[in-house]
Amino acid sequence: MTRPSFTAQREQLRRGNFIRVVNYHSTPRAARDELATELAGFARDYAPVTLDDLDALFETGTWRKDKPGLIPVFYEGYRNSATVAAPLCDELGLTGWFPIATSFVDCDPEYQEAFARAHWISLVEEDTQGGRIAMDWDEVHDLSRRHVVFPHTAHHEGFDTVLSDADIEREVVDSKRALEAVTGQPAPAFVWLHGSSYGQSPRHDAAVKDAGYRYQFANTMIHRVN
């Protein structure tokens, strides 16, 4: 797709032809009503964005819905993403996007709090009251039937700490394989800790591309990788 000029981008924004990405992390049951109100407002003013919708936008350069698009992104793989956020998206007709740190899901529930504290995964009081903090693989599979799931590395790492070939294989490639084995679908996207952009490290960019990802999510944009 040819990169549009600033004038063309401004005109598309004026017409409402854009996608808004809203990021969430833990969505505790105690805050369900607040989240429901926020998502309901988004559902009123924006159109849901499926993977097919995103593909079509990048392939044609045209947004074909009568409202701007919304991608609500629920990070890390918290259990409450599956039990609180996803059901709200279902009720409201929104497609949720769920980047999952696969080793967090794989971790024994007894050690998930320690894993979270060691890997930059924020916890709220509800997360620390016993029981499982991360979703399980059955929940990941179920989510993939209705929403979009993709790796957020294996151990919730940034590209600046993934240095060796073995590190890259584990965080970029193995996380994809693990997710695909559960969902039975190609993982379409990838995101680093801190939302680092594609284009910051040729070596890491090549790893993401070679792994077969189509998109890399970042703090300022969604990059089309291949």
pLDDT one-digit tens code per residue, 75-100: 999 999 999 999 999 999 999 999 99
What pTM was computed for the model? 0.94
Closest by CA position to 214, among listed 186, 194, 193: 186
Domain ranges of the chain: 6-125+132-224
Q: What does each C-alpha distance from 14 to 8, 48, 169 come to in angstroms?
A: 10, 19, 42
Alpha-helical (H) ranges within the chain are 6-14, 32-45, 51-60, 79-80, 86-92, 102-106, 112-118, 137-146, 165-168, 175-183, 202-210
Q: What is the pLDDT of residue 1?
A: 38
Is the pLDDT assigned to residue 2 strictly greater than 50?
A: no
DSSP annotation of 111: G
Q: What is the pLDDT of residue 101?
A: 98
Looking at domain 6-125+132-224, its CATH superfamily turns out to be Glycoside hydrolase/deacetylase (3.20.20.370)
How far is 149 from 170, CA to CA, in rounded Å?
Answer: 18
Beta-bridge partner residues of 223: 216
Is the pLDDT assigned to residue 13 strictly greater than 70?
A: no
Is the pLDDT assigned to residue 126 strictly greater than 80?
A: yes
How far is 222 from 218, CA to CA, in rounded Å?
Answer: 6
Per-residue pLDDT reduced to its tens digit, 182-220: 999 999 999 999 999 999 999 999 999 999 999 999 998
Q: Give the pLDDT mean for 52-81.
A: 95
